[in-house]
Amino acid sequence: MKKKKIDILKGITIGPISFWMLFFVAVPLLYIVFISFMQRGDDGSIVYIPTIENYTRMASSLYVKVFWDSIVVAFVTTLLTLIFGYPFAYFATKIKKYKIVIMLLIMAPFLTNSLIRTYGWIVILSTNGSLNHILLITGIIKEPLKMLYSYGAVMIGMIYTMFPFMVLPLYNAIDKMDKSYIEASKDLGASSWKTFRTITVPLTMPGIVAGCILVFVPSVGLFFIPDLMGGSNVMLIGNLIRNQFLQANDWPLGAALSIVMIFISLILILFYVKIIGKKLDTEVF
């Protein structure tokens, strides 16, 4: 009788979440998969005639380049946010007195709309922006630099936007790390670098993996940052998908691009997690 009540309680608890995931995630995703095998009509409508042409078209060099550029941008964004985010999170955990202030600083970007923050960077990086103005006044440059509408500008916007998503899991992992291992390593005569490399990094690897996934997956599909800061000079998969749905009215091709993007992201994430798992198995722990 008691087990039956527990099962009923579990059903009541899990039921709404399961319905939400099924109705708002699984069903739309299945619909996208379905229309990716359909055809586009002359008027932009969906013609329900099965075809694989939407997928075979992606073998062209144009689509391959877009996918490759998107993966490279997402990878570099993930790598740089990790390089800058890990020291920030590491030293932030050392300042216990100002923990609340540091957490507020990390969370502050979430209090402002991403578009507003992106427009802020546009103002800074534009030809007549504040950065060029400072460089001209200090005599570092003789004429304004063209920093906007380039991959460099897109990378700045991506790193700035995704930085909190890397720092938060890192901060949590480092803060909850068992410090006794570090103390034992130092007592045994290990240097600070060796302790960091063989103790701190492996113990915080779950935070590293979580941060990399939280940054990489959205970075592959983000479209508003490349649109605003890259202009017509930067075309990533997110922009291409958006154009197919909202401008070209080619929903089947847009759906096929979305499925391939999801598939590639999942493969890269599984590969990354598997490599990290093997690396952890070789560590002393």
Cα distance between residue 110 and residue 268, in whole Å: 27
Q: Contacts by 122-131 with C-beta closer than 8 Å and gap 24+?
A: 122/148, 122/228, 122/229, 125/153, 125/156, 125/229
Domain residue ranges of the chain, discontinuous segments joined by +: 61-281
Fold of 61-281: MetI-like fold (1.10.3720)
Structure tokens at 267: 């493969």
Phi and psi at 198, nearest 5°, equal -100, -15
The pLDDT averaged over each successive group of 10 residues in the chain (285 residues) is 61 74 84 94 90 92 92 94 93 81 80 86 90 89 88 93 92 88 84 87 89 92 90 90 91 94 86 66 49
- Give per-residue pLDDT as tens, 190-204: 888 888 888 888 889
